[in-house]
Structure 1
Amino acid sequence: MLVLKNIKKEYKVADTKFLALKGINLDFRENEFVSILGPSGSGKTTLLNIIGGLDHYSEGQLIINGRETSEFKEKDWNVYRNHRIGFIFQSYNLIPHQSVISNVELALTIAGLSKEERTKKAKEALDKVGLSDQYYKKPNQLSGGQSQRVAIARALVNDPEILLADEPTGALDTKTSVQIMDLIKEVAKDRLVIMVTHNPDLAEKYSTRIINLLDGNVLDDSNPLTNKEKESLYNKKPSNKKEQAKMTWWTTFKLSIQNLLNKRNRSILTSIASSIGIIGISLVLSLSFGVQSFITKTQEDMLSGNPITITKSALDLESMMSGMTIGEKVEVFKEIGYVGVEKVVEMIAKRSQQSSSMFIENDITEEYINYVLDMPKEDYAAIYLDREIDITNNLYFDFYENDTEFENISVSALKTIYTSILKENEATSSYANLISNFTNILAEAPNNSSYILEQYDILEGKVAESKNEIMLVLNSDGLISDLTLAQLGYYNQKQFINMILKALDDPKYDSSIVDIEKFSYEELMNKKFVWYPNDIVFKENNLPNKEFNPFYYNAYSRDFETNDQGIELKVVGILEPKEHINYGSLTSGFYYTNELTNHIIENSSESKIVKYFNEKGDNYIINSGKINGGGEIGITFKYSYNYLGEDRLNLTGFVGKTNQMADMIGAINPNIQSLYSLTKRDVGGEPLASKISIYPVNLKHKDKVTEYLDNWNNMDEDREKIVYSDNLSIVFAMIQNIINVITIALIGFTTLALVVSCVMIAIITYVSVVERVKEIGVIRSLGGSKKDVSNLFVAETVIIGLSAGIIAIGFTYLATFIINLIVVKSLGSNIAGFPAHYAIIMISISVLLTVISGLIPSRSAAKKDPVEALRTE
């Protein structure tokens, strides 16, 4: 049922108002063929659009199936156009990038029918209009008559109650017009057909009722309804059938994909251009992630070689870093006629106070050591308690001076001899005192064989475990320093001197002396060392100079009265870092066991030299050197050597360690003499460790280790805090912060490209809206909502954004591969990386940005007047 009561339609033209319909009163039967005639501007098409729900009246009542349309919401109008109305347009209004059957299916798609049902009905409708062989052609492949038949099939496919035809034959020749009119007349047998036409002959021939309009008024009606027909019509109850009119997202995407494929070259270029900003950010993230991964991997590698340490005296690097400032701004008040005083003294005092606070003294007690040892075992691989014993004073070996002669000498004594030999040569004299800093002769290994075997391969033998076992650790190239081997007696004096001469291209080099460039495993492992207790090595000095020389040192074991108290140490294994280990817990050198350390501590506690230290006090140090170039003080010994045929006899050697800083300064200024110092710790008199090294399992567990150590300070506020050193984290945190700043800066810069891309997407989407205005009108005429139209262009931006993102990610992976290919040889590791979740995030950002860019154009598309849209060419 369709009833129009006093329908008026007013348009605004510039500043004036134009009344297109001036009060139309019409009733329509459910089954009749009505032709509306009238000259141009009489209101024919306006009336048709109001009946079809494409346009809305200004005043009056439009009653559809007993329901007043003033109650209609947007959804109701969409359902009405989709299920009650079928439109046939003069210009066909087919969507060019869709096939014939897809054009016909569109109304069914909006109605929510399944794919199978849509295809069946669309084919039936096309068969009915004689196009059974044209299903998959595009509109541009059809004639005018065929195109109009497709339009009729589309109008009929949803079996509408009302068929509206606007000049259906206006663009056709006479013969085709007759065919189309015959088809429409056939359709009108079981429904209401309202046709607008300029041709009175067609109206007379085919229609059952002719209505003439003039200047917005009904001039004549050839077959108005009788009162009885009106009464029957008005008493009809409205339908309560639940219907929908909504485009699915799949249809929306399908239409957008087809449109983009129809303009594929432009679409490809748009996607590539849109991807530039994403490529820039992705490459920055790729490099940032790669560098961060490289740093993390390096940190993991360096973790074993850089444990968390707690020492008695330490530099609080964290406080130092937080206290550093680029510059302090001092507020200055200038006064004419006066000169201000810059407070340099105050600045120095404050700086000095700040610097002194960076040095801390930790009170490492037995309680604290036990607390550390009670740490959860799953968090650390090994804990090394360093008692800082100088084993070189007590370790002796057979030293072959000639092919047949040898003597037992201590490591300390031989180190002194070779240091003196280096001083003989002008080229090496400045660096002679640095010999001990270049090499790690002997040290205690972490007390965990499994941890060592995780990092090192055994080339020969086994890992040292007993107190009489030592092992040799090579570097990653399978080498050991010649200085280390020389100080342990693997080179005699002649060979050592000859090595120096050869390195300096000295003419005194003796080519007859064999240069030893490699040692067999057998040669290295057959070397025997003997550790002697303090009371054998250090003898009390009962002479008058006891105040300056409390003990004298036996540099040669041949002077010992008995050798049965010594412990013979044997090299039982040769180890090399595993291929993937760059920074192991052990540097190259010789290592003894914790078992030997415990034995030394136990044996040394009752030794005379330790008791001497106990009498003098815990902080007492025996310093060795010369008084104004005169007599020696401290603990000394006599040694001799021969340099190129010249004997150096009865020289004085000093026992103890030298200051590393003084050695470095001495390399610059030879006049500065090193001072030797010997402490209670050096001779094994301190059972408590002065340094604790904790080797975490990995970086994740390292955080748990530091958290555990922090708990010690938090448990008791009155307790003196213990500060640990985690230098690795501090350094890498600084690097990480720098990388983050650079990354943010680069992303900020590349974001400009994204902004340009967004503007471009908005422009291109707007162009697409302009190009598809007629399609918008068609979709609205078939029952599509404003939201459906908006979604159509949102889908297009999603597809472009998705394509741009995929292109960007593909290029990023390619660039990442090339970058890594270039740098991997020099760095030995990849420097760029782009994980899958980064790719997903960047694609999502690309889609999101393009959608945001297309929101304004898509909304403008949704606001298009469907009537105006259908008129667009």
Structure 2
Amino acid sequence: MAFLEVKKLNKYYPIGTQKKFHALKNVDLSFEKGELVSIIGESGSGKSTLMNLFGGLDSKFDGEILVDGENIGEFTEKQMVQYHKEKIGFVFQSFNLVSHLSIIDNVTLAMTLSNVDKDTRIERAKMILDQLGLKEQYEKKPEQLSGGQKQRVAIARALVNDPDIIIADEPTGALDSETSEQVLDIIQQIAEGGKLVILVTHSERVAERSSRIVTIADGEIIDDKKSGPLKAVDKTFVLRSLDEKQTNKNLSLFSAIRMALLNMKEKLGRNVLIALGGSIGIMSIVLMLSLGKGINDYLTETMNENVNPLVIEASMTEATETSEAKKEREEKEAEESKNSEVVPGIPGGNTDSNPGSEVEFTGPPGTGSKLSFKEENIKELQEIENVKNVTEGFTSFSFTKNAIEFEDESYTYMNFGTISPDITPSNIIFGVLPETNEVLITEGLATSIKDNTADMIGEEVSVKIDTGDESLEGSYKVSGIFTPGDSAGPAGIFDSVYMTMDTFKSLSEESDKDVEANVLYLTSESEEFTQEIKSQVKELGYAGSSADILTDIFSQMLDIFTYVLTGVAGISLLVSAIMILTVLYISVVERTQEIGVIKAIGGRKKDIRRIFVSESFLIGLFSGILGVGLALVLSFVGNTFIERAFDATVLHTTPAFAIAGILVSIIISVLAGLLPASKAAKLDPVEALRRG
């Protein structure tokens, strides 16, 4: 059986929707290894079509093409890829060298697609290039070579995988006569070395160098004759076959990335601009996230600056109220509602039926709860792991009912509270912490009473306290002036009065009132347990401190603000994605020839996609790194100026933001590259080579 045999081969090209052009008509041929065959004919005779079918570039035909006993018309895509890698080597008239690759890389391209190890492919390529007289040309680019040298490189590329068949399409068409003879000598020696060499040409001079001439006209074989012994040539090229066939694998990801890098280097200026455009979006997003975190951290730090890190505040909620207490409260509220009506538009507010009555307002979040702690609640909180002790307390808030009277003058204050572990001697600017029958007042309140704040120490004042349901009043000595500094909580915002819990209980008993604790202060055994205790308090349904509540509210607002700004900044990422999409489409057009060559020498669709996706991946990676780098620089510069002006930093860039920025850049870039990569993979190799 002949090595290459064609039986009843017919090829049709569709013309419109109904008609077909009959390009090849019942072709029957057979060839053996060692033959140098010229297929000649006029333009349009069908010789290039026949070459494409032999080479597996076109697999749509009727009839049979048998290579080493196998019908390539029945090959799967995977088998056809292996056929290109192992059986066929192409030499083109226009050389079809990849311009941005060096000579050595052009020759090793086929072996790179087969994932042959670097040392093996370099050694094989150099051996062939040396035999072809190109020893000094390894690192040059194709444009630095003469026409004859380019064709020798193309021959080396065709031979590097040691194929059984070499198909040369007009191999001397772009060469002068002297160079043509040199190339034909090499081709003849390749055939004499045991390869089946098929030349497609319209040149009688080339055909005369063949051992067999097949003439084709209008798609039919009109002549097939042997031309006698080949012309004697100097053995300047001795083909050395591989000792054993290389096991052909597929293009590795690393090799695809390397090929993408080489192409990007060729268009360096354009790719730098694309990466810069994409980096602006990443930089903006990272800066917005850093700004949000920085402000949030500053707010939290400011809120907690003078707060005891071991103290956790807890208040009652309806969720933690016992059924008995809830029933008792509802009965009491029902009784009170008989003499009051709800004021529309004021949440939780109510007024007496008499016109002009005061509106009741419970105050900002965390400034007191009407719900009192019961023994069950206190015990539940005491049992939380790592809680050292629990201190009972009471707080209330009123816009008008809380007041201090001094020398027949009344001064309103808004927040009342009992001394908690949060208040320490470090918060006292004058005097000391209160003991029995003493009060502590804030600096602002003291200043409104006397110009010299310190003069309030030791003065007797009458204190009115609104407990929500009842009003209490008693006379006390001012023991100290309290300043919250930058601390959170009501004292940091409103005028406040504090006394010990024992003093407050005595006042309640003297007034024949039963006022129970509405806030508990849990002291942690260690600062490391504080956050966990806070979380457990919330899980049990209790409310946290005003500092915690206000921090959560502001944090939510800041998060929304940050995400909105980040979304706006993200629009630039969409623009960069469109840029990448456009540039890669342009790259597909520019590299049509390269794509055709890769497919001709055994590149899979997946390999083509992998190369282009690798390119988009690298653009995204470079954009992300550049964007994060710019964000870090701007954060440093911005924080330097802000720290000098306000003694604070508000741009906190974290490793998580940096990694997220790079990942987002890569993902968007890769997604943008999928369509161009898919388009490149679907290109028809015949059309790609023709257009290239």
CA displacement 1:161-194 (0-9 Å, x = unmatched): 1111111111000110111011111111121111
* Cα shift at 1:456: 6.4
Q: What residue ranges of structure 2 are gaps of 5+ in the alignment?
A: 229-243, 322-339, 351-359, 363-367, 396-403, 444-449, 460-473, 493-498
User: Aligned match of 1:271 in 255, 272, 275?
Assistant: 275
Match of 1:22 in 2: 25
Change (3 A) 1:155 1:458: farther
Letter in 1 for 2:512: D
Q: Which amino acid aligns with 2:204?
A: P
Contact preservation (8 Å) 2:90, 2:158: yes
1:769 aligns with 2:597: no
Inter-partner Cα distance in structure 1 for 2:5 and 2:197: 14
TM-score, structure 1 as length reference: 0.61
Match runs of 1:33-52 below 5 Å? 33-52=36-55
Deviation at 1:585, TM superposition (A): 11
Q: Would you say 1:87 and 2:90 are equivalent positions?
A: yes
2:251: which partner in 1?
A: 247
The Cα offsets for residues 95-137 of structure 1, whole Å up to 9 and x where unpaired, read as 1101100111111112221111111001001011111111111
Q: 1:436 to 1:362 in 2, by over 3 A?
A: closer
CA separation in 2, counterparts of 1:789 and 1:65?
28
How far apart in 1 are the matches of 2:69 and 2:134?
37
d(CA) in 2 for partners of 1:192 and 1:352?
A: 94
Cα distance in structure 2, aligned partners of 1:757 and 1:179: 51
Structure 1 residue 297 displacement after superposition = 2.9
Counterpart of 1:193 in structure 2 is 197
Aligned to 2:288: 284
Deviation string, structure 1 residues 509-528 (Cα, Å, up to 9, x no partner): xxxxxxxxxxxxxxxxxxxx
In the aligned structure 1, how far is the partner of 2:676 from the partner of 2:223? 45
Pair 1:104 & 2:107 matched: yes
In the superposition, relative to structure 1, how do residues 216 and 439 fare at CA in structure 2: closer, same or farther (>3 Å)?
closer
- Which of 122, 143, 150 is the equivalent residue of 1:140? 143
Instruction: Identify the residue that residue 512 of structure 2 maps to in structure 1.
Output: 618
Q: Secondary structure at the match of 1:816?
A: helix
Work out the CA distance in 1 between the residues paired with 2:306 and 2:593: 67
**1:751 equivalent in structure 2:** 570
What secondary structure sits across from 2:305 in the alignment? helix
Cα distance in 2, alignment partners of residues 768 and 831 from structure 1: 42
Query: Aligned to 2:187, which of 184, 188, 191?
Result: 184
Partner of 2:57: 54
Deviation, 1:23, is 1.6
Q: Equivalent residue for 1:785?
A: 604
Equivalent residue for 1:693?
521
Give the 3 Å change call, closer, same or farther, for CA 748–95 of structure 1 in structure 2.
Answer: same
* Alignment of structure 1 residues 646-665 onto 2, 5 Å: none
CA distance 1:862–1:102, shift in 2 (3 Å): same
Aligned counterparts of 1:733 and 1:387: Cα–Cα separation in 2:
23
- Select 1:348's aligned residue among 343, 347, 351: 343
Aligned partners of 1:180 and 1:139: how far apart in 2?
17
- The amino acid of 2:343's aligned partner reads I
1:858 offset after TM fit, Å?
1.2
| Aligned position for 2:357 | none
Quote the offset at 1:283 in angstroms. 2.3
Q: Which amino acid aligns with 1:860?
A: K
AA aligned to 1:98 is L
Post-superposition CA distance 1:738-788 (Å, at most 9, x none) = 222222322332333222222221111100000000000110111001111
The one-letter code of the counterpart of 1:446 is: P
Q: Which amino acid aligns with 1:89?
A: F
CA distance change for structure 1 residues 152 and 737 in 2, over 3 Å: closer, same or farther? same
Paired AA for residue 271 in structure 1: A
Deviation at 1:865, TM superposition (A): 1.1
Quote how far apart the aligned CAs of 1:730 are.
2.4
CA contact (8 A) 1:9 1:21 kept: yes
Structure 1 distance, partners of 2:667, 2:319, is 45
Secondary structure (helix, strand or coil) at the match of 1:61 reads strand
Q: Distance in 2 between matches of 1:246 and 1:188?
A: 29
Work out whether 1:446 is the aligned partner of 2:421.
yes
Q: Counterparts of 1:145 and 1:698 in 2: how far apart (Å)?
A: 80
Cα RMSD between the aligned structures? 4.6
Deviations 1:192-235 (A, max 9, x none): 1111112112221x21111111111111111399xxxxxxxxxx
* One-letter amino acid matched to 1:165: A
Residue 215 (str. 1) matches residue 119 (str. 2) = no
1:9 to 11, 16, 19: 11
> What TM-score, normalized to structure 2?
0.75
Identity %: 34
Say if 1:310 and 1:691, in contact at 8 Å, map to a contact too.
yes
2:614 is aligned with 1:795 = yes
Aligned to 1:219, what secondary structure does the other structure show?
A: strand
1:434 to 1:483, Cα distance in 2 relative to 1, 3 A = farther
Note closer, same or farther for the CA distance 1:386–1:739 as it changes in structure 2 (3 Å cut): closer
Map 1:560-575; keep pairs closer than 5 Å.
Answer: none
Q: Secondary structure at the match of 1:832?
A: coil
Matched residue type, 1:63 = L
Distance apart, 1:9 and its partner CA = 1.3
2:371 to 354, 362, 365: 362
Q: Secondary structure at the match of 1:101?
A: helix
- Corresponding residue number in structure 2 for 1:583: 487
- Alignment check: 8 A CA contact 1:83 1:111 kept: no
Alpha carbons 2:620, 2:666 under 8 Å: kept: yes
Q: 2:608, 2:60 → 1: CA distance?
A: 23
Q: Distance in 2 between matches of 1:445 and 1:72?
A: 85
Q: Which of 376, 385, 388 matches 2:385?
A: 376
Matched ranges for 1:162-177 at <5 A: 162-177=165-180
Deviations 1:668-687 (A, max 9, x none): xxxxxxxxxxxxx9xxxxxx
Would the aligned equivalents of 2:538 and 2:544 in 1 still touch at CA under 8 Å?
no
| Runs of 5+ consecutive residues of structure 1 not aligned to the other structure | 226-239, 320-344, 389-414, 424-431, 476-480, 492-551, 556-568, 589-595, 621-680, 682-687, 714-722
Given the superposition, is the C-alpha separation of residues 368 and 182 from structure 1 closer, same or farther in structure 2, using an over 3 Å criterion?
closer
Aligned mate of 1:257, from 252, 261, 265: 261
Could you tell me whether the CA contact under 8 Å between 1:304 and 1:583 is conserved in 2? no
Contact 1:75 1:245 in 2 (8 A): no
